[in-house]
Amino acid sequence: MSKSSRRSFLASSAAAGAAMSFTAKSYAQVPGANARVGVGFLGVGGRCQQHIDVILKMRELNKPVAPVAVCDVWDGQVVANLIRGRGLYPSAERCGLNRDDRNHVSKDYRKILEQKDVDVVCIATPDHWHARMAIDAMQAGKDVYMEKPMTRTIAEAIAVVDAAQKLNRVVTVGVQSMADPTWLAANEYVKAGNIGHVLQGQTSYFRNSSVGQWRYYPLTREMSPTTVDWNMWLGHAFKGVDDQPLGPTPAQMPFDRAVWAQWRCYWPFGGGMFTDLFVHQTTHLIAAMGLKFPGRVTGGGGLYMEYDGRDVPDVATVVADYEEGCQVIISATMLNDVQLGETIRGHLGTIKFSPTGRADYLKGFEVYGQYPAGGPSKPKDADSKPIHEYVNPKFASPKNGVEDSATYALWDNFLECVAAKRRMTLSTPELGAAAFSTVNMGANSYRNGKVYFWDKDGRAPKEADSSWATKLEARSKKRDTPSQVQGWTGGDRGSKLVPPAYQRLEGPWVNGADPAPAGN
C-alpha cells in the first residue's frame, strides 16, 4: 500500500484516549482528600494480581497511590509457577501489609469498607459479588474499579448505574480495551458519516484448550473448607438487588474445589463465555459503533463437546439488533481459535480492526471502500487498497512492562477521574451496563429459548414479539429515512438508496389503471 493512498488519522481529544495522567499534582487539588489514594482490593485471586502489579508500579513511579487493604475469603497459597501470590495472606505480603492487621487484611469486605484510609476499592471477586460490593462501597463513600462483567444480572447493572449517579461516585468497569484509543477513534470516523449508514458490526472471542475452557485453573489439595470461607464465597447470607440471596447455600452447593476455582463453568456465579468473554468485545465494539442498549437480542449455541460437568455452552452466538438501524454479532467457540475478525460494515465502507497488535493494543484499523452500483456486487475474497488507515499511537510508542498494559492505562484514567471527581471514565458503568445487558440477554435467550426486547422505560428485558419486523416493514412502506447511530453528524451520507429510473413504473394497479406516469 503506497503512503499516498492512505490518510493517516490521529484522532482528536477523547478519541485519542488522551486522558490526562494521574499525578501527584492532579491529586493534590482534591479538597480534603487523604495524602494519597488508598486502594482496597476485594477478591485477590488471579486477576487481582495484575491490579496489585499496577498499583505497586504506580507507587514506584511516585504516583500518590498505595495498596492499603486486601480482602479474600481464602487464606491463599503460594505455588511456584502455578498460582502466583493469590489469596489473602500472600496478597497482603505483596502489598506490604501486616497480616495481623485485621482492619486491613480481612475475610469480610465490610471491615475494609469501614476504613477511612481506603479511598477506592478494586472488586475482582467472581461475578455474583460485584454489584453488592460496589453498591456497599459507594454507600461507604468509596470510588470503585469493578472487574468485568460489571455484574451477574441486568437488574444489578442498572442498580450500580443508579447508585453511581445518585451518590456521585466514580466507577470504572474493568474492560481494559477501552483504554485502547482505537475504538473511540473508530467512533469519531463512523459518526462523521465516513462509512455511510452503519449496518452491522461483528466480533468474536474464539479459543481452544485441550482440558476444557477454564479447567486450566488448577485445583490444589490446600483448597478446602478450612482455608476457604465457603459461606462467604457463596454469599447466600447476603441479599442482591432483587432481594434474593447472592448465591446458593452450602446444602445446595457443598464445597467443591472445581466450583471454587473454575466458577466460570457454572451459571450461579457467571455467564460462561457470554458474559466472561463477550463482554470485552461487545463493550468496545458498541462504543466504536455509537450504540448502547440493544432493541432485540437472540442467543444461540450449545454444549457440544465439553461434557465435563459444566453448565455453560462451548459454542455461542449473540445477535443484537438496534433501534439505530443496525446489528451486532458476537460469536465464539471455546474449541477452535480462528477469529471472525472485528469489523464494522457501513454502506460506503468497512472498518477492519487489526487482528494483531502489541501487548494489549491493536495496531489500529483500516477502512475499505464500498462502491455500490446498480446491480448486486459479487462476494469479495480479497481486500482492495484501504481508503483510510488509523495507526494507534499506543502501538507505536511502547512503555516498559506493566506500564504498557491497558489495565495500567485504565487505572491511570480512573485515578485521574477520582482526583478530578469526574464520572466520565474511559469505561463508564453506563456503557458497561449496556454491554453487559446485551450479552446477558443473549445468554438468557439461549437458556430460556426466548427472544428479548430491551424495554427502555422499564430498563429491563421483556419477551419479544413480532413487532420488531412489522414496525420496520411499516417504515419501508412509508419510505422512511434510516435511523442512525448515536452522535451521528453524517447527514444522509451513504444512507439513501438511488432508485433505478424504471422504479417509477412500480405501484399497485387499482381498478386496472397503470400507476406509471405517462411517457418513456
Ligand X SMILES: NC(=O)c1ccc[n+]([C@@H]2O[C@H](COP(=O)([O-])OP(=O)(O)OC[C@H]3O[C@@H](n4cnc5c(N)ncnc54)[C@H](O)[C@@H]3O)[C@@H](O)[C@H]2O)c1
- Footprint of ligand X (CB under 6 A): 42-43, 45-48, 71-74, 86-87, 109, 124-127, 129, 147-148, 174, 176, 232-233, 235, 276
CB of 392 to ligand X, least distance (A): 19
Rounded Cα distance, 338 and 302, in Å: 18
Specify the residue, 53 or 188, whose C-beta has the smaller distance to ligand X.
53
Angle of CA points 310, 312, 317, to nearest 5°: 155
Question: Toward ligand X, which CB reaches closer, 147 or 188?
Answer: 147
- C-alpha cell recorded at residue 448: 430460556
CA 16/CA 428 separation, integer angstroms: 17
When the beta carbons of 255 and 468 are compared against ligand X, the nearer one is 255
Minimum CB–partner distance for residue 282 and ligand X (Å):
13
Least distance (Å) from ligand X to the CB of residue 133?
Answer: 7
Which residue minimizes CB distance to ligand X? 45
Judged by beta carbon, residue 125 or residue 392, the one nearer ligand X is 125
The three cell numbers of residue 414 are 480512573
Outline where DSSP puts E strands in 289-325: 296-302, 315-322
Are the C-beta atoms of 175 and 427 separated by less than 8 Å?
yes
Which residue's CB is nearer to ligand X, number 49 or number 343?
49
User: Which residue type occupies 119?
Assistant: D
Q: Name which of 367 and 415 has its Cβ closer to ligand X.
A: 415
For ligand X, the closer of residues 44 and 319 by Cβ is 44
Q: Which is nearer to ligand X, 58 or 150 (CB)?
A: 150
Q: Shortest distance, CB of residue 73 to ligand X, whole angstroms?
A: 4
**5: which DSSP letter?**
G
What distance in Å separates the CA atoms of residue 328 and residue 503, rounded to the nearest whole number? 32
Phi, psi of 419 (to 5 degrees): -65, -40
Burial 137-155 (b: 16+ CB within 10 A, else e): bbeeebbbbbbbbbbbbbb
Asked if residue 196 lies in contact with residue 488, where contact means CB atoms within 8 angstroms, the answer is: no
State in angstroms the smallest separation of the CB of 149 from ligand X: 6
Strand, coil or helix: 353 = strand
In angstroms, the CA 258 to CA 56 distance is 31
- Give the single-character DSSP code of 393: H
Residue number with CB closer to ligand X (109 or 395): 109
136, 147, 403 from 426: Cα distances, Å? 23, 14, 17
Edge to edge, the sheet with strand 143-147 lists 105-106, 65-71, 37-42, 120-123, 143-147, 171-174
| Beta bridge partner(s), residue 391 | 364
| Cell numbers at 425, concatenated | 471514565
Closest distance to ligand X from the beta carbon of 34 (Å): 23
Comparing CB distances to ligand X, the nearer of 42 and 241 is 42
Query: Minimum Å distance from CB 44 to ligand X?
Result: 6
**Minimum distance from CB of 202 to ligand X (Å)?**
21
What minimum distance in Å lies between the beta carbon of 411 and ligand X?
Answer: 12
Q: In terms of CB distance, is 27 or 233 closer to ligand X?
A: 233
Nearest distance, CB of residue 175 and ligand X, angstroms: 7
- In angstroms and rounded to an integer, the radius of gyration of the C-alpha atoms of the chain is 25
Question: What does the DSSP 8-state code read for residue 152?
Answer: S
CA distance 312 to 391: 38
For residue 384, count CB atoms less than 10 angstroms from its CB and return exposed for 0-12, middle for 13-18, buried for 19 or more. exposed
Closest separation between CB of residue 214 and ligand X, Å? Answer: 9
Q: How far apart are CA 253 and CA 230, in angstroms?
A: 10
Nearer to ligand X, 260 or 452 (CB): 260
- The grid coordinates listed for 239 are 441479599
Q: Beta strand pairing status for 326-333 and 198-204?
A: parallel
* Least CB distance to ligand X at residue 59 (A): 21
